[in-house]
Amino acid sequence: MPPTSGDEIETLIATMARLPGLGPRSARRIVLHLIRRRAGQMAQLAALMASVAEHARECLVCGNITQSDICPICEDPGRATGEICVVTDVADLWALERGRAFHGRYHVLGGSLSALDEIGPEDLRIPQLIARIAEEKVTEVILALSATVEGQTTAHYIAEALAPTGVAVTGLAQGVPIGGELDYLDDGTITAALRARRQF
């Protein structure tokens, strides 16, 4: 790393280089870019980052990242109260919001069940989900979890835990992704899409 340009600049590059998707080369490039704009963009970015670091927290209802106690989605009276979409992570919530297809509310688990990593239901906001079903007038819980072993284990656990409440539990459809070429799809996806085939 640059051994001659002041300790803080070196430390900044080393810190940036540890961010996901970045490395020493891209961190150096970004830091030089910012230093050239140090009075404007860099000072603004630093202030913004400090403010988000101070104010960002989890929505008390759904676990979304927000800057108030209750996130804008949970507070929005225009969103259907009867549907809760369960996601693993805030990144998944953002992805669903970009799709603009879901108009209910969310519940962020914060991870997947894992015996190996000793992550149990209490670590995942599952008790809070069960409490919401009782408190809010929920008619459908959509499990938008990853189609991985951990995701599907978590989905089955939640479906069983919710069975006594009588709420409808659904999952995302599995099949060929839009724009997907059959030739490049794995066997599991093709088999799932064939089994779940529908009237044309």
Binding residues vs a second copy (CB under 8 A) = 1-9, 11-12, 15-16, 19-22, 26, 28-35, 38-39, 41-56, 64-68, 71-73, 89-91, 93-94, 97-98
Cβ proximity to a second copy, 3 vs 164, nearer residue: 3
Q: How near is the Cβ of 20 to a second copy at its closest, in Å?
A: 5
- Packing angle of the helix pair 7-17, 24-36 (nearest 10 deg): 130
**Least distance in Å: CB of 57 to a second copy?**
8
20 vs 77, beta carbon nearer a second copy: 20
For a second copy, the closer of residues 21 and 164 by Cβ is 21
14-41 CB burial, b ≥16 within 10 A, e <16: eebbeeeebeeeebbebbeebeeeeeee
- Kind and range of the H or E element at 25? helix 24-36
Do the beta carbons of residue 128 and residue 74 sit within 8 Å?
Answer: no
Q: Which amino acid is it at 121?
A: P
| Cβ neighbourhood burial of 50 (10 Å; 0-12, 13-18, 19+) | exposed
Q: What angle do CA 152, 101, 106 make, to 5 degrees?
A: 55
Q: Which is nearer to a second copy, 64 or 112 (CB)?
A: 64
Min dist CB 38 to a second copy, Å, is 4
Q: Choose between 96 and 167: whose C-beta lies nearer to a second copy.
A: 96
Least distance to a second copy, CB of residue 116, Å: 21
Distance of closest approach, residue 165 Cβ to a second copy, in angstroms: 27
